Amino acid sequence: MSYLNPRPEPSRVAPLAEQAPTDEPAFVRHIERHRRELQVHCYRMLGSFEDSEDLVQETFLRAWRGRHGFKGTSTMRAWLYRIATNACLDFLSRHARWPLTHSWSHSVGGAPAPDDVPWLQPYPDHLLDLAEPSGREPDAVVVAKETIELAFLVAVQHLPPRQRAVLILRDILGQSASDTAGVLELSVPAVNSALQRARIRLREHLPRQRSQWTPEVGPTQAEKALARRYIAAVENADVDAMAQLLHDDVRATMPMPQPCEPSQSGLPSTRWIGRAAYLAGFGMGLDPASPAYFGQWLCIPTQANRQPAIACYTRHEQRDVWQAQVIDVLQIRGDKIVEITAFGPENFTRFGLPLTR
């Protein structure tokens, strides 16, 4: 599957008629099995984990209120996706969001600095696994790596909301042009035109090497091995080992250097930087003689957006516990890290990780 070569439309199979339960508890049980996949859909539309949770709740509320409108001419899944898509579009019409161009830097590692998406949040892989289809659900779609990774989500945020919806419905969920037109109340020609524009714009914001990436369901064994080397470099305060892991054009978000005091909480504001600046900041953060010293580091491997991720804790000499600091999500190409996206400690709990250890 590639968004430079979109997936073919699946064969159309007439759905079995379904009947929506009329009492609320039974209705909730009936639609609850679709919660996680609907959340992934809303997450692709919005880029925010928290907002996607809220929009699933809004979808279920709308579904209950409009349950008499479900006639059984499509699957319950298709009906819920229609409601979820329009709930997301309504949300985006009330909360206009556009990626912000960094004014402080013109390039990172020889490439243009990526736009900032401040509402972007990681999606834990153990929750993505819950959205995977079962054998009883042939119309469900596997959460493939290239449809959920951070680079794709950031690129999608550049699309106008309706183009975004068309691209996701057609190229990820494999809906027909006529079904997509029905969901969005557009004509088929309008859907086809929006899809063409969306694909062009998406290519403009995906990394140059995106078409060379091999689609995977999750991190490969080689990527997991590289993540372990990353952990060793951090925990051993080994700048040379970290330098060997980074691509020449690596881009990263990194905390602004500041002293690590026992009273410090949260993550300082972040910025996009290139390889040299990352290694310099990495060294200062690990050097006890530096005013930017963060203390000792403890790293826990995890996975987010089908990418290897590292949850990092710090412990200053004046502390008795390890405190959650940052989750680094790694984008790997070949045997090098090409992007490191850092997320604050408020994300630890949804990964099943404590804030202190």
The DSSP string of 245-291 is HEEEEEEEEEEPP----TT--S---EEEE-HHHHHHHHHHHH-TTST
Q: Are 151 and 207 in contact (CB under 8 A)?
A: yes
Helix (DSSP H) and strand (DSSP E) numbers for the chain: 12, 6
CATH architecture of 221-351: Roll (3.10)
CB 353 within 8 A of CB 341: no
Q: What is the pTM of this model?
A: 0.87
**Cβ atoms of 324 and 356 closer than 8 Å:** yes
How far apart are alpha carbons 231 and 300 in whole angstroms?
A: 8
* DSSP helix/strand/coil, 37: helix
Are 148 and 132 spatial neighbours (Cβ–Cβ below 8 Å)?
no
| 226 touches 308 (CB < 8 A) | yes
Closest CA to 324 of 253, 236, 257, 264: 264
Question: Can you give the residue ranges of every domain in the chain?
Answer: 24-212, 221-351
Spatial separation of the C-alpha atoms in residues 45 and 276, rounded to whole Å: 34
pLDDT in tens, the chain (357 residues): 444 445 544 444 444 446 667 777 888 888 999 999 999 999 999 999 999 999 999 999 999 999 888 877 778 899 999 999 999 999 999 998 888 765 444 445 555 556 678 899 999 999 999 998 765 565 667 788 889 999 999 999 999 999 999 999 999 999 999 999 999 999 999 999 999 999 999 999 887 765 444 556 678 899 999 999 999 999 999 999 999 999 998 988 865 444 344 334 334 445 678 899 899 989 998 888 988 888 999 999 999 999 999 999 999 877 889 999 999 999 999 899 999 999 999 999 999 999 999
Select from 1.20.140.160, 3.20.20.70, 1.10.533.10, 1.10.10.10 the CATH code of 24-212.
Answer: 1.20.140.160
Element (H, E) at 343: strand 336-343
Q: 63, exposed or middle or buried, with CB in 10 Å at 0-12, 13-18, 19+?
A: buried
